[in-house]
Structure 1
């Protein structure tokens, strides 16, 4: 697999229609979404070079995180500051912060995610069970737990990532992802989501999987 598979992946992702409560921020209806497609291509390309064997599947993008940047578990400050411990993101790299993100408070879950990954020196591919922004209809600046049908619509995309990358293990981050993966027949391990005070248990769960050889 190579760059052409990433281009095809993003094209298919962008083709999914938005609904009143589920915003596809990659589609071609909004000119600014081109920057998010660009950023996602940059991220997947960078990860392709690193050949990760683990895919971490979360819930859905938040309106202060991936909804703005186009990259899973990232926020405004990651794009504006220095590159992280893995040499990803940061000012001067090829990622571009969309103008509308400039004044939005940073999504804290993204910061916690990358802090823990750096502490463990562990770099998986990050994704979401529902890769579009689910929100309360009429309230675009809100987050809503994806419905099973919305997560099901996202299933072909995390499955495609297991073919684009040399994935050996898929890990569910939280209940939504775990339910989504199990509905496909995949008995994936589940760890605590890092949001809402879950940092310690999220890190502990990853440490246990690493120690047991399930994540490398």
Structure 2
């Protein structure tokens, strides 16, 4: 393999090889509570299909959040995407249907709901990722979220850099101040919008609307948290 991944398959291999304590890798690890026996394989396949489509079609921007969450990317292997929006993700880049990797009821995530309603509104191909591409959790509590550490961020920097090299986007849009500062620490320049959680939904909508010239929503309009 060259210094940078040359295609989607090599990129997925790169991410699959990441190992950190108290961090779930959805492309190699299995959750004993919810995952199907072939869950990691399904998530690798979903990511490879989405990235292949992004490379072939070209994307104007990459939206980057901080890390995967336990209700979204831990289960789907796709950043900022919960199980309720797998079909929307396939439609965004024109891939074949993306598969669920878990058993039981479908799980929705608040952040993903707002993110995807705006992605549908802008009608442009966008690739979604995280500064730290795994799900970091509190020790002994795998169904929790924690912020990744700086050492984890620096140790996985080659993944973020490799993705930018593959996609060559015109811009990187950080979802939240934490993501922007983390990207800056990696040497990646990014524009920023407010993260939609913790009361930031309206500012997020305004920020994305301004970046993409939507003019569709006034400052008092909000989106429902769940579709």
> What TM-score comes out, normalization by structure 2 length?
0.79
Cα pair 2:80 2:128 within 8 Å, conserved: yes
Equivalent residue for 2:158? 156
1:60-209 matches, cutoff 5 A: 60-79=67-86, 83-84=87-88, 87-88=91-92, 93-100=96-103, 102-103=104-105, 105-209=107-211
List structure 1 runs of 4+ shifted beyond 3 angstroms: 28-31
Task: Mark the CA change 1:89 to 1:172 in structure 2 (over 3 Å): closer, same or farther.
Answer: closer
Cα distance in 1, alignment partners of residues 102 and 24 from structure 2: 18
How far apart, CA to CA, are the structure 2 residues paired with 1:127 and 1:117?
A: 14
In structure 1, stretches of 5+ residues that fail to align are: 212-216
1:22 aligns with 23
1:57 aligned to 2:64? yes
Superposition RMSD on alpha carbons, in Å? 2.6
Deviation at 1:28, TM superposition (A): 6.3
Structure 2: gaps of 5 or more residues: 31-36, 214-227
Mean alpha-carbon deviation: is it higher for 21-30 or for 122-131? 21-30
Contact kept, 8 Å, 2:50 with 2:90, in 1: the verdict is: no
Q: 1:116 to 1:27 in 2, by over 3 A?
A: same
Does residue 44 (structure 1) correspond to residue 34 (structure 2)? The answer is no
Match of 1:6 in 2: 8
Cα distance in 1 for residues equivalent to 2:96 and 2:187: 39
